[in-house]
Structure 1
């Protein structure tokens, strides 16, 4: 914690410009995905503002166990700015207690109204508050009146433009100073994710007077500008795009090598004064390295069994040697340079960072005989978004157990 004082509370575009610095490229809040180490890496490659992972306000502010939760989940320093701290909650007073604990160490506090996961339904927060407008207005208004920093809100859209706009205007009226619109419905998640609706985001931007960030459909750096131009928003946020290519915020002619990003992330983790949980590190590595590991399956297995920093580092350095050899076999002239395949997906060598493209659902998906397999796929989406780990990986088993034992505390790399 920095303990440094926060400047006079600003609102709306004054807050966006003077406090946040008019960011266009923003790292999204992700449970177990946008921790301090990842924010540092993202800023190095061009992220202009970052959100923390979603924190559970009740656990964060609990008088008995809250300190342990905060020590485990939340860290920052004076270089980690601008930063917005995100909470989930369904109670104004609990939310305020949690927010008061961070108001001197961040630039704004964000209310999560977008999490679509089953754990959010069970905990009654995120997008599952979408129909409780009076409660939402009360939470936003409480933070607006009582905090030293602005309150921002992240939402999902409704099936119609009209209701989405009405929802956004209600939140603005309650006191939100910035709104992030994830252009997907609450039902769009996992293998049912589909495309985000930029038209609804555009409609919200045109209807409200506060700054608006867009979220959804950002796979490549060029998508930032496309979204800015199409929707007219003030900034564009990415979650999954960053997880698979931390350098997505920078305009590079070719994506970076996977091992380079993995090595740089591990070195940041090593140098941080606060520790990063092993499961978080492993989740990041599986995503960064996802194009490379299917080619070198023995290293994928080693990574799945690893639990210590040095073990992770050794796997990455061995993978580096192999990928350099793979690259040398074809030479720079023979490398894929991002040309589109017949499905419109850019092609790169397996040594380069690239977005995760979800496979199509099987034809019999949804039939009773495959229900067990569907549940397994959905669980893997919530616990790691395609990390391709063995089912007996102890870290994944522990993560799933934690989710059952402590709702809302740990849902790996879920977009908040």
Structure 2
């Protein structure tokens, strides 16, 4: 029954972002207006070695790597109906094992088919899957058959419009309730403009909701990309990373306020210091530069107290 519980139409979505998409950032984005919040991609090899632990002191559910105290994924009841757990995988059985550990604590499971980074691709994950439609079919149908949780995936554009549309149609046939499309190809750099017209081709070819992603930096861009592509929902990555109040209809809060609120939440939810520093560096680099006093200070921090 839960397959259809997650509603994918007319939603503003926080994209999956490595190191940034941890619990404090997801909760902050949701407070500002994000309807769906993706966690950072987590590799199945690592996650199948995790156990579920209730963290009484924080009020969280932690997934901790066995034999260590390393928290690989942390969530809480407040985000239960919004959070999407994204898996990096190249194997249906392993993906299912990972999904089964976490599926009752999240709103949906997503398979990463778009990450072009070497660590993903070399393991046959991320955008390496784009050229393996049989494997995509195997992973998605295996998860859908065995889970009561909605299962989706996120892709990039392929080399030709026709190839992208063909793959999207095959994915739709696997029975997923939605598909996220990043409007760039594997070889494109983040500074290259997203190809909204090629996302529009996918939208018109499918009957399931498409979540459009690429070049969303202001609240107004949510409407602009919807109008340009026909997509029902929109996902923001860097625009949200630089100031998560991009999701607010009231307009962005000053970046200093956003940054302070983020730090407050990282302390409240005992966020991993590496993740906090990476996210802050991205924010500071966008608004000023890392060479300044603040940027250098963040790099030197050894604890949340130092950051504060």
Q: Where does residue 117 of structure 2 map in the other structure? A: 117
CA 1:292–1:121 in structure 2 vs 1: closer, same or farther (change >3 Å)? closer
Residue 256 of structure 1: how far off its partner (Å):
2.5
Residue 174 of structure 1: how far off its partner (Å):
1.9
CA distance in 2, matches of 1:204, 1:33: 28
Q: Where does residue 230 of structure 1 map in the other structure? A: 228
CA distance in 2, matches of 1:70, 1:248: 34
Q: Where does residue 167 of structure 2 map in the other structure? A: 167
In the alignment, structure 2 segments of 5+ residues that lack a partner are 52-63
CA 1:291–1:52 in structure 2 vs 1: closer, same or farther (change >3 Å)? closer
Which residue of 275, 278, 296 maps to 1:280? Answer: 275
Is 1:293–1:299's contact at 8 Å kept on the other side of the alignment?
A: no
Q: Where does residue 212 of structure 2 map in the other structure? A: 214
Q: Where does residue 306 of structure 2 map in the other structure? A: 311
Spell out, residue by residue over 1:144-186, the C-alpha distance to the aligned partner (whole angstroms, 9 max, x if none): 1111112101000112111110000011112222100001101
Q: Where does residue 20 of structure 1 map in the other structure? A: 7
CA distance in 2, matches of 1:110, 1:63: 18
Is 1:184–1:196's contact at 8 Å kept on the other side of the alignment?
A: yes
Q: Where does residue 318 of structure 1 map in the other structure? A: none
Residue 30 of structure 1: how far off its partner (Å):
1.1
Q: Which moved more, 1:28-37 or 1:60-69?
A: 60-69
Q: Which moved more, 1:69-78 or 1:233-242?
A: 69-78
> The residue matched to 1:73 in structure 2 has which SS?
strand
Residue 301 of structure 1: how far off its partner (Å):
1.6
CA 1:22–1:130 in structure 2 vs 1: closer, same or farther (change >3 Å)? closer
CA distance in 1, matches of 2:10, 2:22: 19
TM value normalised by structure 1: 0.67
Q: Where does residue 157 of structure 2 map in the other structure? A: 157
Select the structure of larger CA radius of gyration. Answer: 1
Q: Where does residue 245 of structure 2 map in the other structure? A: 247
Q: Where does residue 198 of structure 1 map in the other structure? A: 196
CA distance in 1, matches of 2:290, 2:71: 35
Q: Where does residue 257 of structure 1 map in the other structure? A: 254
CA distance in 2, matches of 1:295, 1:98: 37
TM value normalised by structure 2: 0.90
Matched residue count: 295
> The residue matched to 2:102 in structure 1 has which SS?
coil
Spell out, residue by residue over 1:55-89, the C-alpha distance to the aligned partner (whole angstroms, 9 max, x if none): 10111003798446895221111111311111011
CA distance in 2, matches of 1:104, 1:234: 26
CA distance in 2, matches of 1:238, 1:137: 27
Alignment of 1:6-155 (within 5 A): 8-10=1-3, 15=4, 18-20=5-7, 22-62=9-49, 66-67=65-66, 72-80=71-79, 81-155=81-155
Is 1:60–1:70's contact at 8 Å kept on the other side of the alignment?
A: no
CA distance in 1, matches of 2:290, 2:144: 51
RMSD: 2.1
Is 2:183–2:212's contact at 8 Å kept on the other side of the alignment?
A: yes
Residue 296 of structure 1: how far off its partner (Å):
8.0
CA distance in 2, matches of 1:294, 1:214: 30
Is 2:182–2:212's contact at 8 Å kept on the other side of the alignment?
A: yes
> The residue matched to 2:234 in structure 1 has which SS?
strand
Spell out, residue by residue over 1:100-151, the C-alpha distance to the aligned partner (whole angstroms, 9 max, x if none): 1111111211010000011112222100121111111100110111111121
Spell out, residue by residue over 1:220-248, the C-alpha distance to the aligned partner (whole angstroms, 9 max, x if none): 11111101111111100011111111111
Residue 38 of structure 1: how far off its partner (Å):
0.4
Is 1:212–1:233's contact at 8 Å kept on the other side of the alignment?
A: yes
Is 1:23–1:48's contact at 8 Å kept on the other side of the alignment?
A: no
> The residue matched to 1:96 in structure 2 has which SS?
helix
CA 1:251–1:41 in structure 2 vs 1: closer, same or farther (change >3 Å)? same
Residue 31 of structure 1: how far off its partner (Å):
1.4
Structure in which a larger fraction of residues adopt strand:
2
Is 1:23–1:49's contact at 8 Å kept on the other side of the alignment?
A: no
